[in-house]
Amino acid sequence: MTTQEKKAAPKPKIGVYGFTGCAGDQLLIIHTEDELLNLFGSVDMQSFVMASSNPIEGELDVAFVEGSVSTDEEEEHILDIRKRAKILVAMGNCAVGGGPQAMYTGDKKYKERLQKVYGDNVKFFIEPVEAKPLDAYVEVDYYLPGCPIDQKQAFALITRLIHGAVPETNPHPVCHECKLNETHCLLLDKKFCLGPLVAGGCDSVCPSHGLPCVGCWGPIEDGNFKEHFKLLESFGMSKKEITRRIKNYGGHKILQYLENL
Amino acid sequence: MSKKEIVIEPLARVEGHGGIRVVIEGNKISDVEVRILEGPRLFEELVVGKTPEEDLSIVPRICAICNLSHKYAALRGLEKALGVTIPNVTQEYRHLMHNGEIIESHSLHLYFLALPDFLGYDNAVAMADKYGDVVVKALQLKKFGNKIMRMMGGRMIHGENPVLGGFGKLPSKKALIAIKKEAEELLPFAMATIDLLAGLEIPNHIERETQFLCCKPTHEGYDYYGEFFITSDGKEHPVENYKEVIIERTVSHSFAKRGTYNGAPFTVGAIARIILLRDRLTGQAKEACDKLFNERWHRNPLYNNFAQAVEQVFSLESVISIVDKLLESDTPEIAQRTTETGSGTGAVEAPRGTLIHSYKIKDGKTTYADFITPTAMFLDDVEAFIRTGGENLLANNQMENIELKFEMIVRAFDPCISCSAHLVEVVYK
């Protein structure tokens, strides 16, 4: 009798990277506890510097990148990762839209703010640039929005990608999740809630705590911005005030929706 | 004379993107830089013009691991500025929240970021074969810290639930009882960790004298917040005077904001707290401290890992006693602000050290904000310890694995690079 040779398909090569941000999205993966050991077991983890020493930087099946591009060094790094990775996932609000550090995008005052925090005549050893999302530099295949990402949404995508399946999109706003959770609508109380304009995935966590949505998943494509602005204005808030607040987590991605209001 | 440059980049198993550069000339170390490679995020400027509610939402995004410490420091500062007086029971809920974060952060650092070095592994998952029990239990402990953070914060990271004057939603009695039970179940593992650490040999090549600073609790016991800083020279300083206590300076080769005390580097974090406040410990935390503490802690930052283990015990015991108090308390109202204009400074002990948030509010909008993070405070001391350690290794010709030995020093401090991203290395023209 011949013994059958044991062979298995190679595990997908994965890299997890952190650019400028709070590291919260990588931390959420580390914080899965139950899934973390399975994840390390079911993939070939090439590079995950926050969790392990001695990374290998070569070809990758999937790269997960957290953080905004905020230095010239990071710009080079994202170009390099893109070259090596078959699939690139922008993970978290900073990678998707630029993050809170991109809330003033377009006001042309970046240099001024930099100087206010660091003082005059400062020459940095790496050159800082105003925060931009990954897709300002490279093509991004999938987006995992959120500040921070949601474990359930993230693992649904990660699981499909490492098994060669196509992940589902999440085309619903926060309001949809409020309805599923039977959460009382804060707009009925005339509270400033951004839910109708914001992508879901958080399981409507803030409204579930009686707190308005601050918009940390970024804009949803089919949000009715014009009508929602009108509604919020009728609560006694100025357009300027609403715009300022929605930009806190809107980064680059919000700008197109604010153009024709 | 030979010149050698050691660059360790990226620095693994720390929060954020950093590196170390050490220049060796002959048998002297001529330069040490702990480099912060993340781009500046300019949070102090981001919040200008915002309402205090927006500040509270935005500032925890500085750092994920200690997001609730940022929220807590901001709350303490903003509530002073706006004349908000919270009921005692709300303060107890905040303690519960903060103890959850200490457990989450310490267990992450101690078992997953630091311990692999001491046991000779690249990461904690690789440790699982030989130390399976420890890894599984450590994950449980970390999960428990996260559970409290989720319960009090609203979600594990960047929860919006803590608001000015109180919380959006408070946990049910049933949830509190479950938390207490779990804390009781985890205490034996936290104590077993003390014995595991007691068996480790801590190298002595990096030892030098330094100074320590932490918040002085407002009561007789041990805790993670205060209205005064206490320092190892026996002095106390009101937190409002933080700018006179911690002198931020610019140096030619290094970066814009770094703190010194008395013109010299200092250490903050678990080791500083245990050194300055250990007489206040009681119960099993005292027992744990008595087992591990020795006089070398004053000179060796690797003992910060041990100090974190003692604080894990303290925080588990605190969770139990806080829940007991909460179960007998009424549900607090959210305290309201009494003014729209004012200024205030809040200080708390983040897991990795003293964290200061200072705000000026005018007519309900932020006009000024200043944050000093623990990493900004201790980075000078990290470099000083690398220098001492490196020179001793050179003198004894122990160059083997010198990179790992440098990394272990940095990791012992549990630095938070996201927090300190306004600590960019700079040179003046």
Same domain, A18 and A136: yes
Q: How many domains does the structure of chain A reveal?
A: 2
CA separation for the pair B104, B123 (Å, rounded): 18
Same domain, A35 and A133: yes
Is residue A23, in this structure, part of any structural domain at all? yes
Is residue A4, in this structure, part of any structural domain at all? no
Same domain, A100 and A189: no
Is residue B388, in this structure, part of any structural domain at all? yes
Is residue A230, in this structure, part of any structural domain at all? yes
Tell me the backbone φ, ψ of residue A15, rounded to 5 degrees.
-130, 135
CA–CA–CA angle B288, B291, B294 (5° rounding): 120
Is residue B419, in this structure, part of any structural domain at all? no
**Residue B108 DSSP class:** I
CATH number at residue A128: 3.40.50.700
Q: Note every long-range contact of B43-47, with CB atoms under 8 Å and residues 24 or more positions apart, other chains counting.
A: B43/A100, B43/A101, B43/B369, B43/B371, B43/B422, B44/A116, B44/A117, B44/B369, B44/B370, B44/B371, B44/B422, B45/A113, B45/A116, B45/A117, B46/A100, B46/A101, B46/A103, B46/A104, B47/B366, B47/B369
The first and second tokens of residue B116, run together, are: 């692999």
Single residue among A134, A162, A190 that ends a domain in this structure = A162
Same domain, A22 and A126: yes
- CB contact under 8 Å between B39 and A117, yes or no, is no
The answer, for A245 touching chain B at a CB cutoff of 8 Å, is yes
Same domain, A71 and A182: no
The first and second tokens of residue B220, run together, are: 């007789």
Same domain, A141 and A247: no
Is residue B214, in this structure, part of any structural domain at all? yes
For B213, the domain range is: 3-412
Strands A142-144 and B3-8: unpaired
CA separation for the pair A8, B238 (Å, rounded): 64
For A19, the domain range is: 13-162
Query: Bridge-partner residues for B197, per DSSP?
Result: none
Is residue B223, in this structure, part of any structural domain at all? yes
Same domain, A77 and A153: yes
Give me the tens of pLDDT residue by residue for chain A, a chain 261 residues long.
556 777 777 899 999 999 999 889 998 988 887 788 888 889 999 999 888 778 899 999 999 999 999 999 999 999 999 999 999 999 999 999 999 999 999 888 888 888 887 777 666 777 888 999 999 999 999 999 999 999 999 999 999 999 889 998 888 999 999 999 999 999 999 999 999 999 999 999 999 999 999 999 999 999 999 999 999 999 999 999 999 999 999 999 999 999 978
Give me the tens of pLDDT residue by residue for chain B, a chain 429 residues long.
578 887 776 666 666 677 888 888 887 888 888 877 777 788 889 999 999 999 999 999 998 888 999 999 999 999 999 999 999 999 999 999 999 999 999 998 999 888 888 888 888 888 888 888 998 999 999 999 999 999 999 988 999 999 999 999 999 999 999 999 999 999 999 999 999 999 999 998 899 999 999 999 999 999 999 999 999 999 999 999 999 999 986 654 444 467 899 999 999 999 999 999 999 999 999 999 999 999 999 999 999 999 999 999 999 999 999 999 999 999 999 999 999 999 999 999 999 999 999 999 999 999 999 999 898 899 899 999 999 998 998 888 888 888 888 888 888 998 876 555 443 333 332
Cα–Cα distances in Å, from A142 out to A26, A87, A94, A152, A177?
16, 8, 14, 16, 22
Which residues in chain A have Cβ-Cβ distances shorter than 8 Å to B38? 19-21, 67, 70-71
Please choose, from the candidates B31, B254, B41, the residue with its C-alpha nearest in 3D space to the C-alpha of residue A124. Answer: B254
Would you state the torsion angle of the CA atoms of residues A246, A247, A248, A250, taken in this order, to the nearest 10 degrees?
Answer: 90
- Nearest chain A Cα to B62, which residue? A22
Single residue among A162, A191, A215 that ends a domain in this structure = A162
A–B interface: beta-carbon pairs under 8 A: 195
The predicted pLDDT at position B251 comes to 52
Which residues in chain B have Cβ-Cβ distances shorter than 8 Å to A67? 38
Is residue B423, in this structure, part of any structural domain at all? no
CA separation for the pair A90, A146 (Å, rounded): 11
CA separation for the pair A211, B8 (Å, rounded): 44
CB count within 10 Å of CB A62 equals: 21
The predicted pLDDT at position B353 comes to 97
ipTM comes to: 0.92
Same domain, A128 and A79: yes
The predicted pLDDT at position B167 comes to 97
Tell me the backbone φ, ψ of residue A10, rounded to 5 degrees.
-60, 145
The answer, for B427 touching chain A at a CB cutoff of 8 Å, is yes
The answer, for A184 touching chain B at a CB cutoff of 8 Å, is no
CATH number at residue B243: 1.10.645.10
Same domain, A210 and A152: no
Would you state the torsion angle of the CA atoms of residues B345, B339, A240, B42, taken in this order, to the nearest 10 degrees?
Answer: 0
Is residue B350, in this structure, part of any structural domain at all? yes
- Listed in sequence order, the residues at least 6 apart from B361 whose beta carbon sits closer than 8 Å to its beta carbon are B52, B78, B81, B82, B340, B341, B342, B343, B367
Is residue B211, in this structure, part of any structural domain at all? yes
CA separation for the pair B356, B213 (Å, rounded): 13
Same domain, A31 and A125: yes
Is residue A254, in this structure, part of any structural domain at all? yes
Same domain, A102 and A48: yes
Does residue A96 contact residue A218 with C-beta atoms inside 8 Å? Answer: yes
Is residue B141, in this structure, part of any structural domain at all? yes
The first and second tokens of residue A59, run together, are: 């070809």
The answer, for A104 touching chain B at a CB cutoff of 8 Å, is yes
Single residue among A162, A196, A213 that ends a domain in this structure = A162
Q: How many domains does the structure of chain B reveal?
A: 1
The answer, for A100 touching chain B at a CB cutoff of 8 Å, is yes
Does residue B11 contact residue B406 with C-beta atoms inside 8 Å? Answer: no
- CB contact under 8 Å between B37 and A21, yes or no, is no
Same domain, A142 and A17: yes
